[in-house]
Structure 1
């Protein structure tokens, strides 16, 4: 399993330190990366094309150095005096993820002549909605995948009309029509199903169980454990008789799902171990870190037992059910997930970024990243430029503009803005806005983002998956709990692999929260983050190969031969661990807040961005209606 994976580089020092050996992997052999193999037809252009970069990506040391220094109150000791650029914009957005790009797009769609600047600390648009791209030999065009934590939006919903309208319009432009959201339908036609891999880490043995009608009897549990699981999935009683529906939901909201199983259902250790990784697919969290109400929202015939007798009905205020509630398959929009929506918005606002007809499918259009931040653009996207300062020009009640500072690698530069949308992780906002009201600061500082690893592997083919009869597998305790083939989605010009002999992408997800670090979620997240940043890339690569071999080795999978490319996105601040508390005001002067920390999921990220922009545009002073020309 020591075949080297070609990679661009390892920008962060933790990964560099791991190149000498397979840390804890037990594999010998020299590491001799082939720097040219990964890029296929891109050639030298790949070095300027982030989606094609392999190795360790995501929240790299380069991306996180400034935010971490801000959080540790070290940045301004060495930053020097901010230097004005003379640039003026109608809108500056901090964060180029789904919410940030939606804010820019919303403003632009209402005022195409506006000057807009989007800042982000990462080296690619999308933030955590990152695109991973591979070019297998013999395939016409790239394989496109998604390297971010779970957050793909559901199909347009009438609950959020503005978000639904924006989403439906973008998807129609990409050639994605109604009914095209089930990324598992093609696999189901081939007889492939979900599976659960009861592994030696949690059950003392490795056994793949395909979720057929009689699957519970195949689990490596005692007869008592099997009977208990079947009872909780199919015949669970009403645990709270006499309580109203609202009271039952309130009780579930106050319990973690693991605590619900243990304290309410009186489930035994086998069932609790079996359910431990159920939330990973939708939330990138384990059962200790989601509420029982959240678990109920995702329950299906094979998952999240214990709720059948409660008689609960879904309402608009309940948690989002996620992509695959009810075990019906991935609800996905585009081959590159949320990033596809961002590419659609960027191409509309900056047509020069991609060659060809803007009406053609954007999935295959190569982006010219040098065109994102040209002086002549009405909309500019400035990457690797972390924001470090946001303040109203004058008192919040009377301000007509704001000043935004960012670090360009040499110095802090400032621009002026008629309005600012902060679409970054909420925990960093108190460090950006020095005079934030105390009640806002308290609410924002309570937000926690849990670390998560997301791997995208290019496989030689998927014959072994087809032979095993599975396309998506949950491990009960192994390093990567969620292992699955990429959703099979076609667009106007992109063709997903349809034959098991074709190359394909596989996704693996690992939540990196140390649930044993104590009851405080902050402590658990901090311990997981420290552990995650200490793991070298070579060990992560080994775990991917080793786990795929455990799953598929009996069906002909060779981890040295069949894993032909690998990108591991390490998100040290990955998924929100609970929403931000309600804030007492909608905006602070010319500053408004968006982002998925307000509520999880891309739909919420879109909705909060629309609200933030509409609030700022409705309340903008006449003097800020046109903030001036960019320089």
Structure 2
């Protein structure tokens, strides 16, 4: 493919650390000519020795996705070979090596110390969305970023069981008060900013924001009416629903999208929709045309200060709306690799030989030995690149003593048996790998649609342009990407965050892939977004990264062709668990909720994942793991110790 002059000027033709992506494509193409035992799966492909260091397009493994799509479409078994009995038997088999699956294994071992456990993970790395990305800068410094699950948000709201589990795996959340430099930006006189793109707003303009909108909005390329409206909305919003009681306002706001609130309730210029469009995506997975004004209030969007709404959430707010409105904790509980650090701690508890060290600090810098994960001598084994395609009891579920699991192993099919099984995979996968469920439960499982997203890390040789502009981040309203920010300033043990502008640094760039169509509900938006995401190539993502940074930071002397040293795009076509939200889910919050029917175990099988909590947070994944383990072990006392309802504890937020 020939490059345009613009692409060459941005450095698309220059050598950066994205070769693993290109080599991966080459291996796939070469493997296609080899003898294959299953569609699209090359035989005897050499496993990747250290996945965190791979760059280019990461996230969900294309191989794993192809297998499960074939299972979903009913074509997999047409050409599948006869499964080979591995002869392996375990007390517990966990399907899925994300936070929930790893936590289930740890919790099981705590109660069954002599158990043999196998974890089957279909991707080439563990952690699920809690993915670690590593880079080596041109000056030799190692940089560590997060490719998905970001932080342990609001430990104050964690269940007693989750708090204890974190302690058990060596994580003391109080230490983040020292690890996270909350004054890093202030000490360097860096603030926030907004980059307005000419394609949407008529001119490329970077504007540094301040507390008073009247001080910076006049510098934007918004039209005059939109400027006036935005200043009023932020600085001195009136009561837009005068004469109504607080409860009446809550009811109106729970039925009105934030987009309609801005234009119809407030009577403001439609440019404000373009300005705020992506502001709700990070927490709710949809834009302002699908987020209620009530949840936008919880999210911190402006316009509600004059409406006397109080400080207690209204019952119809989504779980994240309730959380952000009432959050008592600073957003600091973050390893350099996000919740990849939590995943590493869980793996260290299960396979100590794979993760050297004993402290939180050495979790960060330890070189994980992937070759030790599936050692036959281990009481717990973690097997990567192992897609489970069938799960069935060996006899009637009420009488069987074992469960047979069939999985793909390097192009072949193998079976293992387990006395107990935890399905810590996605809800929508489960009906495709078992035929033992009633239709009502299948319908409930299929209700959970994942939010598609991309989490990208861009390695810069320095952050001089940010220093010159006096910013640490910028939003990009209605752009391909939602903006960019210098990574969170975390220093742990031997790992030190950037100090001077000459230091290399990672930029975090993300995109929640939604379709801004007011006619589509949250599930339809997620589905449409997933299809559009799968059509995107890494080259398209890279071009948009370079183009945005080059234009936004131009006044600071940034040159995308020379300043970018590496790029990793973590593509999560099936991303975060979708929350229950108005106006789409009229059964929320009074129920019955689909998760109540969907997560019911049967026979020797239980279900654990963030989908089971309809809440895309690491602590929810751990709660659901605890529920699944407690169900299998019949531990009714434990069933009272974790959170079964989505969102923060109701008694702690005034509901």
TM-score by length of 1: 0.85
Which residue of the partner structure matches residue 219 of structure 1?
Answer: 220
CA–CA separation in structure 2 for the residues paired with 1:577 and 1:88: 35
CA–CA separation in structure 1 for the residues paired with 2:633 and 2:208: 53
Taking a change above 3 Å as real, the CA distance of residues 359 and 340 of structure 1, as seen in their structure-2 partners, is closer
Work out whether residues 473 and 483 of structure 1, in 8 Å CA contact, stay in contact via their aligned partners in 2. yes
CA–CA separation in structure 2 for the residues paired with 1:151 and 1:590: 33
1:401-420 matched pairs, under 5 angstroms: 401-420=402-421
Deviation at 1:334, TM superposition (A): 0.6
Which residue of the partner structure matches residue 8 of structure 1?
Answer: 20
CA–CA separation in structure 1 for the residues paired with 2:284 and 2:68: 24
Deviation at 1:10, TM superposition (A): 3.8
Q: Select which of 581, 595, 599 maps to 2:594.
A: 581
CA–CA separation in structure 1 for the residues paired with 2:425 and 2:88: 22
Deviation at 1:248, TM superposition (A): 5.4
CA–CA separation in structure 1 for the residues paired with 2:331 and 2:157: 20
The question of 1:596 aligning with 2:615 is answered no
Which residue of the partner structure matches residue 146 of structure 1?
Answer: 146
Work out whether residues 182 and 329 of structure 1, in 8 Å CA contact, stay in contact via their aligned partners in 2. no
CA–CA separation in structure 2 for the residues paired with 1:563 and 1:515: 31
Which residue of the partner structure matches residue 607 of structure 1?
Answer: 623
Deviation at 1:191, TM superposition (A): 1.4
Work out whether residues 117 and 380 of structure 2, in 8 Å CA contact, stay in contact via their aligned partners in 1. yes
Deviation at 1:369, TM superposition (A): 0.6
Taking a change above 3 Å as real, the CA distance of residues 512 and 48 of structure 1, as seen in their structure-2 partners, is same
1:545-584 matched pairs, under 5 angstroms: 545-579=546-580, 581-584=594-597
Which residue of the partner structure matches residue 7 of structure 2?
Answer: none
CA–CA separation in structure 1 for the residues paired with 2:26 and 2:265: 43
TM-score by length of 2: 0.82
Deviation at 1:243, TM superposition (A): 5.3
Paired positions, count: 586
1:162-311 matched pairs, under 5 angstroms: 162-168=161-167, 170=169, 172=171, 177=175, 179-180=177-178, 185-213=183-211, 214-233=215-234, 234-237=236-239, 239=241, 242=244, 245=247, 252-283=253-284, 285-299=286-300, 303-306=301-304, 309-311=307-309
Which residue of the partner structure matches residue 465 of structure 1?
Answer: 466
Structure 1 SS opposite 2:386? coil
Work out whether residues 115 and 379 of structure 1, in 8 Å CA contact, stay in contact via their aligned partners in 2. yes
CA–CA separation in structure 2 for the residues paired with 1:539 and 1:15: 21
CA–CA separation in structure 1 for the residues paired with 2:257 and 2:178: 34
Work out whether residues 94 and 421 of structure 1, in 8 Å CA contact, stay in contact via their aligned partners in 2. yes
Deviation at 1:280, TM superposition (A): 3.7
Deviation at 1:453, TM superposition (A): 1.8
Which residue of the partner structure matches residue 626 of structure 1?
Answer: none
CA–CA separation in structure 2 for the residues paired with 1:184 and 1:326: 17
Q: What are the superposed Cα offsets for residues 54-89 of structure 1, whole Å, 9 maximum, x if unpaired?
A: 111112321311111122222222223333222222
Structure 2 SS opposite 1:587? coil
Deviation at 1:101, TM superposition (A): 1.4
Structure 2 SS opposite 1:179? helix
CA–CA separation in structure 2 for the residues paired with 1:71 and 1:459: 41
Structure 1 SS opposite 2:490? coil
Q: CA RMSD in A?
A: 3.1
Deviation at 1:279, TM superposition (A): 2.2
Structure 1: state its 5+ residue gaps: 18-44, 621-631
Which residue of the partner structure matches residue 512 of structure 2?
Answer: 511
Taking a change above 3 Å as real, the CA distance of residues 526 and 497 of structure 1, as seen in their structure-2 partners, is same
Taking a change above 3 Å as real, the CA distance of residues 15 and 316 of structure 1, as seen in their structure-2 partners, is farther
Which residue of the partner structure matches residue 53 of structure 1?
Answer: 54
1:87-166 matched pairs, under 5 angstroms: 87-140=88-141, 142-148=142-148, 151-166=150-165
Work out whether residues 324 and 331 of structure 1, in 8 Å CA contact, stay in contact via their aligned partners in 2. no
Taking a change above 3 Å as real, the CA distance of residues 593 and 567 of structure 1, as seen in their structure-2 partners, is same
Which residue of the partner structure matches residue 22 of structure 1?
Answer: none
CA–CA separation in structure 2 for the residues paired with 1:77 and 1:319: 43
Deviation at 1:338, TM superposition (A): 0.9
1:313-462 matched pairs, under 5 angstroms: 313-314=311-312, 319-320=319-320, 330-356=331-357, 361-462=362-463
Deviation at 1:329, TM superposition (A): 7.6
Work out whether residues 474 and 484 of structure 2, in 8 Å CA contact, stay in contact via their aligned partners in 1. yes
Taking a change above 3 Å as real, the CA distance of residues 131 and 538 of structure 1, as seen in their structure-2 partners, is same
Structure 2 SS opposite 1:320? helix
CA–CA separation in structure 1 for the residues paired with 2:414 and 2:619: 33
CA–CA separation in structure 2 for the residues paired with 1:78 and 1:240: 66
Structure 2: state its 5+ residue gaps: 1-9, 30-45, 581-592, 637-655
Structure 1 SS opposite 2:345? helix
Taking a change above 3 Å as real, the CA distance of residues 448 and 501 of structure 1, as seen in their structure-2 partners, is same
Work out whether residues 151 and 600 of structure 1, in 8 Å CA contact, stay in contact via their aligned partners in 2. no
Work out whether residues 587 and 593 of structure 1, in 8 Å CA contact, stay in contact via their aligned partners in 2. yes
Moved more, 477-486 or 233-242: 233-242
Taking a change above 3 Å as real, the CA distance of residues 547 and 68 of structure 1, as seen in their structure-2 partners, is same
Work out whether residues 250 and 314 of structure 2, in 8 Å CA contact, stay in contact via their aligned partners in 1. no
CA–CA separation in structure 2 for the residues paired with 1:147 and 1:323: 22
Taking a change above 3 Å as real, the CA distance of residues 77 and 47 of structure 1, as seen in their structure-2 partners, is closer
Structure 2 SS opposite 1:583? helix
Work out whether residues 153 and 333 of structure 1, in 8 Å CA contact, stay in contact via their aligned partners in 2. yes
Which residue of the partner structure matches residue 616 of structure 1?
Answer: 632
CA–CA separation in structure 2 for the residues paired with 1:272 and 1:231: 15
Work out whether residues 283 and 320 of structure 2, in 8 Å CA contact, stay in contact via their aligned partners in 1. no
Work out whether residues 58 and 569 of structure 1, in 8 Å CA contact, stay in contact via their aligned partners in 2. yes
Structure 2 SS opposite 1:9? helix
Structure 2 SS opposite 1:278? coil
Deviation at 1:151, TM superposition (A): 4.7
